[in-house]
């Protein structure tokens, strides 16, 4: 049996208390250190994504006629990403609601995308997307060709397309219910982005951050301070003129 003198017992108690205090202090400061180290990393990733638009990208421009106008209609994308562009529209530069740092919303822009029909889900029909003048901000409108009285509209391109996709999914058709509105309209396509940036008054959209291109001689927003040594990102685009058979508005089979 071990025995301790009173002074030895006091020493052991003091040692235990000191060890306990050090342990508590250590765990107290370990959490903020871990949190602090992860926040800058997340911020760097987000900032890099935003700054990506300033990196020059290769792009195959939309085809043009001899007079310089865009040869419309034109089909962009492949497969489920295919969109037919009918009109690029015109820039509204005096109202901030018609652009943001990433997109310019040209009034009169018009495109079409084929998806399962709301009236005959076993077939596909064209859905016409339009950007209308809503006063202080654009109105995004989508109308199925086989049911023109059914109109989806709202202040958000993604919100309008979500309404439509949710309704298609409710018919038992396998379809995604989350989609980028600009992608569904065709606005996220680099060739379309370039065409919009080259429209009159596009350079007056003060909040918009223009995409830079590999061929800077054709870029009205080029920064003369940046040279070709900047990192480049290429983007493959499939662009063809629309065939007459796609213009009749008839349904397509799935």
* Rounded mean pLDDT, 235-245: 41
- pLDDT tens digits along 141-195: 999 999 999 999 999 999 999 999 999 999 988 766 678 999 999 999 999 999 9
pLDDT at residue number 54:
75
State residue 226's pLDDT score: 40
User: Given pLDDT bands bounded at 50, 70 and 90, which one contains residue 132?
Assistant: very high
Percent with pLDDT over 70 in the chain: 63
Beta-strand pair 152-154/138-144:
antiparallel
Reduced 3-state DSSP string for the chain: CCCCCHHHHHHHHHHHHHHHHHHHHHHHHHHHHHHHHHHHHHHHHHHHHHHHHHCCEECCCCCECCCCCECCCEEECCHHHCEEEEECCECCCCCHHHECCCCECCECCEEEEEEECCCCCCEEEEEEEEEEECCCCEEEEEEECCCCCCCEEECCHHHHHHHHHHHHHHCCCCCCCCCCHHHHHCCCCHHHHHHHHCCCCHHHCCCCCCCCECCHHHCCCCCCCCCCCCCCEECCCCEEECCHHHCCCCCEEC
Whether residue 62 has pLDDT greater than 70: yes
Q: What gap in Å lies between CA 116 and CA 172, rounded to an integer?
A: 11
- Over residues 82-111, the mean pLDDT reads 98
pLDDT at 53: 76
CA separation for the pair 234, 197 (Å, rounded) = 18
Question: What residues pair up with 215 in beta bridges, in sequence order?
Answer: none
pLDDT over threshold 90, residue 232: no
Instruction: Read off the pLDDT of residues 13-50 as tens digits, 9 standing for 90 and up.
Output: 566 666 555 554 444 444 444 444 343 444 444 434 44
Q: Please give the pLDDT value at position 10.
A: 57
**pLDDT per residue as tens digits for the range 184-202:** 999 999 999 999 999 999 9
User: pTM here?
Assistant: 0.68
Give pLDDT, residue 15: 64
Q: Of the candidates 236, 208, 231, 237, which has an alpha carbon nearest to the alpha carbon of residue 221?
A: 208
Separation of alpha carbons 56 and 108, rounded Å: 28
């Amino acid at each position: 049996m071990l025995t301790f003198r009173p002074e030895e017992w006091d020493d052991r108690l003091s040692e235990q208390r000191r060890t306990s205090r050090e342990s508590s202090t250590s765990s107290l400061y370990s959490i903020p250190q871990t949190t602090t180290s992860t926040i800058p990393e997340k911020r760097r990733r987000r900032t890099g994504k935003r700054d990506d638009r300033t990196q020059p990208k290769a792009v195959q421009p939309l085809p043009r006629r001899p007079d310089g106008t865009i040869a419309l209609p034109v089909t962009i994308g492949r497969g489920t990403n295919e969109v037919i562009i009918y009109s690029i529209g015109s820039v509204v530069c005096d109202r901030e609601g018609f652009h943001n740092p990433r997109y310019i919303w040209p009034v009169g822009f018009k495109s079409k995308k084929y998806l399962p029909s709301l009236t005959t889900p076993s077939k596909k029909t064209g859905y016409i997307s339009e950007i209308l003048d809503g006063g202080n901000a654009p109105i995004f409108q989508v109308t199925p060709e086989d049911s023109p009285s059914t109109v989806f509209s709202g202040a958000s391109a993604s919100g309008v397309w979500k309404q439509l996709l949710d309704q298609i999914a409710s018919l038992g058709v396998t379809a995604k219910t989350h989609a980028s509105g600009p992608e569904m309209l065709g606005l996220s396509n680099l060739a379309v982005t370039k065409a919009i940036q080259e429209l009159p008054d596009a350079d007056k959209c003060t909040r918009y951050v223009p995409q830079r291109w590999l061929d800077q001689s054709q870029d009205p927003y080029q920064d003369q301070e940046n040279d070709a040594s900047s990192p480049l990102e290429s983007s493959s685009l499939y662009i063809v003129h629309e065939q007459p058979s796609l213009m009749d508005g008839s349904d397509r089979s799935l």
